[in-house]
Amino acid sequence: MKFINDSPLKYLAFILPALGAFIMLVLIPGLQWAMDYKVIPVEYHAYITGTVMVILSWIGKKIYQPALHTSPLGFVTVTAGHSNKDPGAVRGKDKEADFVVKVRNAVELYLLRAGLTVKTDGKGSINLPLTNAIQIIRGSSTAIEFHLNASVNPQANGVETISLPKDKALAQKISKAIAGVTGSRLRGNNGWIDQSQSARGKLGFVSNGGLVVELGFISNDSEFAILQAKYWLVAKAIADVIIEHEKGLKS
């Protein structure tokens, strides 16, 4: 059994039966008078009172209350880069695809706790291919995909978020939030990379309206160690930015 945290006073299924109980305080004496003077048969008392309560309860359950079925925030897509078949960048036993799944799951948890509707490209350790990730973007107000950078230069480091120009501000906020936890530097334009200026060319996820977040470099020992140790904090920082962004869209 799971109890509803909200006050029952806003649900018609509670209000109408309660109103019926109040009405009964007036109706019952009238029924008693009618029975005493044989205006109605005695058995009608139970029929009338029971019927009133059942009808009010039924009405309360059937009337749709839009305000109770509207999420206060939006619908967000959160995906992990690469897939179970494509590991992405690899560093010894560490695989990019495995790590970003952990970040995806943690971000999803924080967003769900905040009341957002969230779609992902898999549950648990499942990481579906890019084609699946692109499909679930449709209809979302915000779409985020996580990756790790890699370089032949072991000192290469930093955070960046690739997006279309319309999402520049959000991309910068996400990168800054991550850097605030890991201490990494911001790459590109204060953490933002315009897709048209990316060495990767056009990314399918970005072209469909999403943001690709490069959390750091898996090839950099110290940066990746910090990401591994603090990925829950990184996820919370990212989720906080998304939550504030979604609130702004609703205002």
Query: Which helix (DSSP H) or strand (DSSP E) does residue 153 occupy?
Result: none
Task: Give the pair of three-digit tokens for residue 32.
Answer: 């008693």
Domain boundaries, the chain: 8-68, 75-250
Helices 12-36 and 44-62: crossing angle in degrees, nearest 10, is 160
How far apart are the C-alpha atoms of 99 and 152, rounded to whole Å? 20
- Per-residue model confidence (pLDDT) at position 114: 93
For residue 98, give the amino acid letter.
D
- Per-residue model confidence (pLDDT) at position 234: 98
3-state helix, strand and coil shares in percent for the chain, rounded to the nearest 5: 50, 15, 30
Report whether 80 contacts 100 (CB < 8 A).
yes
Specify the DSSP class assigned to residue 92. T
For residue 205, give the amino acid letter.
F
Q: End-to-end alpha-carbon separation of the chain, Å?
A: 35
**What count of other Cβ atoms lies within 10 Å of the Cβ of residue 153?**
10
- Per-residue model confidence (pLDDT) at position 68: 46
- Per-residue model confidence (pLDDT) at position 179: 98
Residues pairing with 120 in the sheet? 78
pTM of the model: 0.72
In this prediction, the residues of the chain whose per-residue pLDDT falls under 70 are 1-74, 198-201, 251
Closest CA to 189 of 205, 200, 179, 175: 175
CATH top-level class of 75-250: alpha beta
- Per-residue model confidence (pLDDT) at position 202: 79
How many helical (H) and strand (E) elements, i.e. helices and strands, does the chain have? 7, 8
